[in-house]
Structure 1
Amino acid sequence: MMKSALTILFASALVLSCSNNSDSSKAPIQEANNTAVTWRGVLQMNDSTELPFNFVVEDDLVTITNGEEKVIIDSIVEVGDTTELYLPVFQTVFKVHRDTKTWNGYWQKLDADDYRMPFTASKGVEYRFNNVVWKSEISLPAKWEVTLRSGTDNEKPAIGEFHVKPNGAATGTFLTETGDYRFLQGMFDGRNLKLSGFDGTHAYFFDAVYDGQQLSGTHYSGKTYAQPWTAIPNDDFELRDPTQLTFIKDGYEGISFSLPTVNGEDFTFDGKSTNGPTIIQIMGSWCPNCMDETRYFKQLHEKYAERGLTIIGITYEYKPELEEAKPAIQKMIRDLDIPYTIVYGGLANPESIATTLPMIENFMSYPTSIFIDSEGNVRRIHTGFSGPGTSEFEPYSVETEALIEEMLGE
């Protein structure tokens, strides 16, 4: 498995655009003597469910950890007696009152109507779910056949990948046909499995009990989502091939569109690029799997652009008009330092996909990537993205770069 620590940097210039309060100032967030101190943060998902995560405060930075992922917050301002910590890439912020040992406030989604979640943090607490140290070694099978929303009319297959250390510390993720749940971290005590992840826009908590044969529990997401899930160990279980889920409709020969850039300029793609092969990335600024894919596509751009590869992103947003969506798109481009063209496709819904890309059959997921050769032939459509928190990322990278090399050599 290939893993990488994801470092998400947020340009501090956003501080000025996020607040017009004349009393705003850079917050002195660092600890005494610039020593790194671990805190335990808690999001109150509902009346009975908490989502814990850890972060480190050091050198005017707050670094949230989810397993091997590191989410770095460096846009921190004070407005009166409130400290505002703007998260990278996504339109979210913590607003807290701080003292030397505790933080109290809330986490807010700025692109949603009245979406807030209570938040507290305690200094010097290094555990995530509890501070028990087990005397006997703990183990759990690594690969699982998972049923999300189990027992409902809308069951969803997934693969669970869990890694448990002898002391019970656990990391893992869930892979679905539309993407993965990214980096999760928690614990397993021989009976209870608890995994949580907070990446700035999604708040996930998976809780389950292991009876020796099956995991059974609840998946919590955001303020209201709570659905059952079950899993059984199965090394042979696979999801459907992501390249066999979305197609070009009969009667269409390729991909073409005319859409505005973030600056409102017309951009037309008439089926092929003059320099060589093209990747069309269907994405959204609100989408963590799109963020992971964009990081990988940046590597592809750096490696292959001079040889003729073109990448074009079509972003679908929560706002119906470009002027309303522009701040989120610009933040994504800036924070991820995207070097290729991004155009605006409209609202993130099936109707917008059908209008802007009418040739697409069975669109399922943001992201979806379309690989087109220099003659305009669609060579592959890949639904979803399993990122660096999964075992699928390395083989996907190998297959993708082999296809690009093949198209460049034609």
Structure 2
Amino acid sequence: MKKTVSTFLAVCSFFVAFTQTNLPKSTWRAALQRGAYELPFGLEINPKANGKYEVFVLNGSERLAMDEAYMEGDSLHIPMLIFDSDLVAKVSGNQLTGSWKKNRNGTWVSVLPFKAQKGDVYWFSKTPAKTAKNVTGKFAAYFQRPDRKDSSFAVGILDQKGTKLAGTFLTPTGDYRYLAGDVIGDSLFMSCYDGSHAFLFRAAILPNGNIQGGMWSGISGYQPFAAYRDAKAELPPPTALTYLKPGFETLDFAFPDTKGNIVSLKDDRYKGKVVVLQLSGSWCPNCMDETRFMVPWYKKNAKRGVEIVGLMFERSPEMNVSGPKIDFMAKRFGVPYPLLLAGTNDANAGKSLPALNKVAGYPTTIFIDKKGRVREIHTGFSGPGTGKYYDQFIEDFNALITKLLSE
């Protein structure tokens, strides 16, 4: 009897081990279900030696690494822990079926249905018919805000090749990252998923070349929008939104890192140096994009006499809640400079830095000269998905640092 039980358990263990490492290297067409509409993106799944999986989300040209995935029973878990987010799906042959889950107050809840089919990745149509429409160019876009009667302004940058479409929308506080999709007939469709945001655009292309439609975001967000061709469309200067109040030239703060060490600009480490303050948050994808730029830049340029300090504005003011998220971000991106818990990302954010008129958005980058004076405050970040705008940011960033170092 004991031998029979042992044999049975061994067979069960083998079966479980087999099912938990049975996904081959593969690509998948994935989609979240937002009401009646699909929000598609791609997945690339690569098995690892330890029975875990390396997973990348594909948004057009973006290949975004998720955290290490794993099997639990018959379900694959694809986490993005920094965003308290998880794709959980039952594996059934060439199909994944499950949900996108978010952690809310310590409890995982399903927010949107999720499915994926192994094979070629495509967005809204596998073989879209040729179209006479072409939306390549720059647009002045207006999104109707659900909580107000006015509209928020953005600059749309679209690039169409055949029926394939890529682009983004730039706003005064950041961009919508990598959007990808198709032009089908007289309509356009674009989407993006990054573990935090889920965007879906569906719009009609009007005879005059303008665009009118809607944006679905996250679990329940919706905004109608209209976009007009405008080669001269520009955002307001990013240096005009946040500024020092009259009578102030410097910033004074003392915030803790996750180990409880208090860091201040008065510390010897920062005396006589150019300092860049990165107002950020572990919940913010645009902040992640800026951090991907900042980390290698700092490693290359710190010896020139430059320091960076990350001021983290989190959802909770409690270190036991926000500290692990900050540490996870630091580990994920290999951040070599201090990350401090400065406050919460709500209407009270400005109280942490009372010399500022407000914190208008994340990230916000503050440049401080060798004498401790604030020289420029830049709201938002044009990430790599914005093309030439990202290149222009890097050029302006380097020019300003060089100028401050030469003084």
Instruction: Report the TM-score when normalising by structure 2.
Output: 0.88
Quote the offset at 1:255 in angstroms: 0.8
**Candidates 88, 92, 98, aligned match of 2:85:** 92
Q: What is residue 326 of structure 2 aligned with on the other side?
A: 329
- Greater per-residue helix proportion: 2
Change (3 A) 1:342 1:249: same
Q: What is residue 202 of structure 2 aligned with on the other side?
A: 207
**Candidates 363, 367, 385, aligned match of 2:363:** 367
Distance 2:67 2:341 in 1: 28
Distance 1:271 1:356 in 2: 18
Q: What is residue 169 of structure 1 aligned with on the other side?
A: 164
Quote the offset at 1:325 in angstroms: 1.0
Is contact 1:173-1:180 (8 Å) kept? yes
Is contact 1:30-1:61 (8 Å) kept? no
| Aligned residues between the structures | 381
**Candidates 66, 75, 81, aligned match of 1:73:** 66
Task: Report the residue type matching 1:120 in the other structure.
Answer: K
List aligned pairs for 1:105-116, cutoff 5 A: 105-111=98-104, 114=109, 116=111
Distance 2:325 2:17 in 1: 22
Task: Report the residue type matching 2:28 in the other structure.
Answer: W
- The answer to whether structure 1 residue 58 and structure 2 residue 49 are counterparts is no
**Candidates 304, 307, 331, aligned match of 1:307:** 304
Distance 1:371 1:127 in 2: 42
Q: What is residue 41 of structure 1 aligned with on the other side?
A: 30
Quote the offset at 1:276 in angstroms: 1.1
Quote the offset at 1:81 in angstroms: 3.1
Is contact 1:139-1:190 (8 Å) kept? no
Q: Deviations over 1:280-311 (max 9, x none)?
A: 11000000110011111113202210111000
Distance 2:54 2:23 in 1: 7
Task: Report the residue type matching 1:333 in the other structure.
Answer: A
What secondary structure sits across from 1:392 in the alignment?
helix
Distance 2:203 2:382 in 1: 23
Higher relative contact order (CA 8 A, sep 6+): 1
Is contact 1:138-1:165 (8 Å) kept? no
Q: What is residue 384 of structure 1 aligned with on the other side?
A: 380
List aligned pairs for 1:210-221, cutoff 5 A: 210-213=205-208, 214-221=210-217
Name stretches of at least 5 consecutive residues in structure 1 with no aligned partner. Answer: 1-22
What secondary structure sits across from 1:86 in the alignment?
strand
Quote the offset at 1:326 in angstroms: 1.7
**CA root-mean-square deviation:** 2.2
Distance 1:203 1:215 in 2: 21
- The answer to whether structure 1 residue 191 and structure 2 residue 186 are counterparts is yes
Is contact 1:162-1:172 (8 Å) kept? yes
Is contact 1:150-1:230 (8 Å) kept? no
Q: What is residue 282 of structure 1 aligned with on the other side?
A: 279
Change (3 A) 1:407 1:331: same
Quote the offset at 1:150 in angstroms: 7.1
Change (3 A) 1:121 1:161: same
Distance 1:277 1:115 in 2: 46
**Candidates 8, 21, 26, aligned match of 1:28:** 21
Is contact 1:25-1:77 (8 Å) kept? no
Larger Rg: 2
